[in-house]
Chain A
Amino acid sequence: MARKITIEPVTRVEGHGKVTIQLDPQNNVLDSRFHIVEFRGFERFVQGRPYWEAPVLVQRLCGICPVSHHLAAAKAMDVIVGVGPDGLTPTAEKMRRLMHYGQMFQSHALHFFHLVSPDLLFGVDADPAIRNVIGVAMKFPDLAVQGVMMRKFGQEIIRVTAGKKIHGTGAIPGGINKNLSVQERDEFLKGADPMNIKKMIEWAQAAVNLFKDYHKKNKDFIDSFAAFPSNHLSLVRKDGALDLYHGVLRAVDADGKKILNDVDYQDYLKYVGEEVRSWSYMKFPYLKSLGKKDGWYRVGPLARLNTADFIPTPLAQKEFEEFKAYTNGKPNNMSMHMHWARLIELLHSAEMIEQLLNDPDLQGDKLVAKGTKVKEGVGLIEAPRGTLFHHYRINDNDQIEMANLIVSTTNNNEPMNRAINWVAVNQISGKKEITEGMLNAVEVAIRAYDPCLSCATHAIGKMPLEVTLVDAEGNVVDQKRK
């Protein structure tokens, strides 16, 4: 009798994730699928709204990375107001960059300390009752305090640049609505320990070192777990540097050969398609030149370090060189190295924040540029989880008539499915029972990609994880809840 295993975090509105593993009568894995019920209503919701509202409206999408949506929409609207992606004033562009690197810093710190460090410190097979951020707080309080303070530092950067904690208004079409005062700047540069940028850089470096120490002791696991070859896509600066705010679109294959050679993202529809599959609401993006079968790609920290030629800050560049040397300069296709890449970006973000804080352009008063309006614009940004696409078209009444968004988690749809399939084939296939350790392995594989499942909304009374075993006739054989 064939069995179906379902791992289902039940959520209220959007983005509930579910893992289904289909077994044959001998318990060998026939197939596996990772479903995320993506919320697509937003694209309809913005139709008819004035274009200048988009950078604020889009923050309704997600409570985890509202800044990324805010800035991607603002970049698209820069094009529509005729300023173009390269026409912002220096103050506007640098304020946006500060906001973005603050977002990156807090998001990467949160991911590491909240979601990843419990796996590393207690082991992926540890009891989930302790393998969580509270377990870290109890056993490694100094590390947990670092996580809290790094997250708070990034949130404060966002607050002073975006203006508000919820539905920030900092970025507007063609620019920004405030600069950074000297007093605000000095709070980050000269704040009492630990709330200053020097301490943040020191702690970010320590986080990289913590991962590297773990890697040395657990090479087999880190290098082999959910590893598979793939294409990689991200923005890079025009000179090939890592740039999380702006650049050209580059894609490389598993051996490093360029598939997209630094193309203008305004033309993304020439290069990227979205496949619909009957079993998932979430689309499967692919590079058109390679087709649906072979054109899927990874986005996010690992992809970014695979596409970039160098990192333009000294400490992160040093780590980048070590990262690249590990694979002899070739793309790194090991899923668990996503954490290593993410921490190098954490360090880079802290260094970028320091550079920007020391730039007097942040106190400039030329906040907005003006141009000749056009009807259509695309904004891309490297969000914490990967490349985020926003595309809008407006009508003669300045109302949005079309919106298309490809979010980072959608870009990573196929890679997440591959990672889970790796776990299913290597750790579940042939086994008679599903153990806690196997379920943990599924979690670890998903967590490497840091997908945004359902965080934009929440309510008291939800149940976060349900595991159901269903036989070929659809009968529930077993059910576990976490």
Chain B
Amino acid sequence: MLNNVKCLVYGYGNPGRQDDGLGVELALRIENDEYLSKYVDVDYNYQLNIEDALTISEYDLVIFADAALNIDNPYELTKIQPAHTITFTTHELSAESILALCQDLYNKKPESYILAIRGYEWEMGLPMTSKAKCNLDDAYTFLTEFIENHFSRCIAGKGI
């Protein structure tokens, strides 16, 4: 926490499936970063689920990090709003749905973003592709600056 701003980076995906683990890898990097980990909490899992609504309700700023299949850039940050996303007979929930559940159940609406990192291969067990690793490096550098800037704005009274 910095200046009373609680920030969470939540990575999700299956690290056993090549580039699907990009979001989790990003969260682990932050967890192992001596500087960032002082100010930013991390969480990670295979996928988002209903209890994550409770988790994010305790934060002011939440960044969901996930692998992405069809974005044009190495990474893209998108601010998200609560949304009722329908899924078909699966257990998967979107970040927007988690935000909607958080709002409905806990009356909280943390400022939330999806950091989508471009991945390329999703086969079981093989290592992350080199192109995805490059995208992860770029996304990590960007996220570090984004969080620092966000905290700076908060200190200046312009933030959350």
Seen from chain A, the residues whose Cβ lies within 8 Å of a Cβ on chain B are 9, 12-13, 17, 39, 41-42, 45, 57, 59-61, 63-64, 66, 110-111, 113-115, 128-129, 132-135, 137-138, 141, 144-145, 147-149, 151-152, 155, 165-167, 443, 446-447, 451, 453-462, 464-465, 482
A135 and B114 form a contact (CB under 8 A): no
Q: Which residues of B contact A (CB under 8 A)?
A: 12-17, 20, 24, 44-47, 49-51, 53-54, 66-71, 84, 86-93, 97, 100-101, 104-105, 114, 116, 119, 122-125
- Chain B proximity of A68: nearest CB distance (Å): 13
Q: Considering the chains assembled together, what is the distance between the CA atoms of A461 and B95 in angstroms? A: 12
Q: List 6 A-B contacts (CB under 8 A).
A: A12-B69, A137-B105, A166-B15, A167-B16, A455-B46, A455-B92
The residue that B50 contacts in the complex, of A114, A135, A451, A464, with Cβ under 8 A, is A114
- Given A166-B46, A459-B119, 9 other A-B contacts at CB below 8 A? A115-B89, A129-B86, A148-B53, A155-B51, A165-B44, A166-B15, A167-B16, A443-B88, A464-B88
A406 to B119, CA, bound (A): 30
Contacts of A148 in B (CB 8 A): 50-51, 53-54, 101, 105
B122 contacts A455, C-beta separation under 8 Å: no
Q: Kindly list chain B residues whose C-beta atoms are within 8 Å of the C-beta of A110.
A: 49-50, 91
Q: How far is the CA of A149 from the CA of B105 in the complex (A)?
A: 12
Contact B101 A133 (CB under 8 A): yes
Contact B88 A482 (CB under 8 A): yes
CB distance from A482 to the nearest CB of B (A): 6
Max count, chain B CB within 10 A of own CB: residue among A63, A134, A145, A167: A134
CA distance in complex: A64, B47 (Å) = 8
Selected from A114, A135, A138, A166, the residue in CB contact (under 8 A) with B24 is A166
How many angstroms from the CA of A39 to the CA of B125 in the assembled complex?
13
Q: Residue on A with the closest CB to B101?
A: A137
Cβ–Cβ < 8 Å partners of B90 in chain A: 9, 453-455, 464
What residues on B are CB-neighbors of A111 within 8 Å?
A: 91
Cα distance, A464 to B119, chains bound together (Å)? 19
Q: Are B86 and A128 touching (Cβ within 8 A)?
A: yes
Inter-chain contact B50/A151, CB cutoff 8 Å? yes
Cβ A66 vs Cβ B68 within 8 A:
no
Other-chain residue from A9, A45, A63 in contact with B47 (beta carbon distance below 8 A)? A63
Q: Is the CB of A60 within 8 A of B86?
A: no
In the bound complex, residues from chain A placing their C-beta under 8 Å from that of B53 are: 148
Residues of A within 8 A of B54 (CB): 148-149, 152
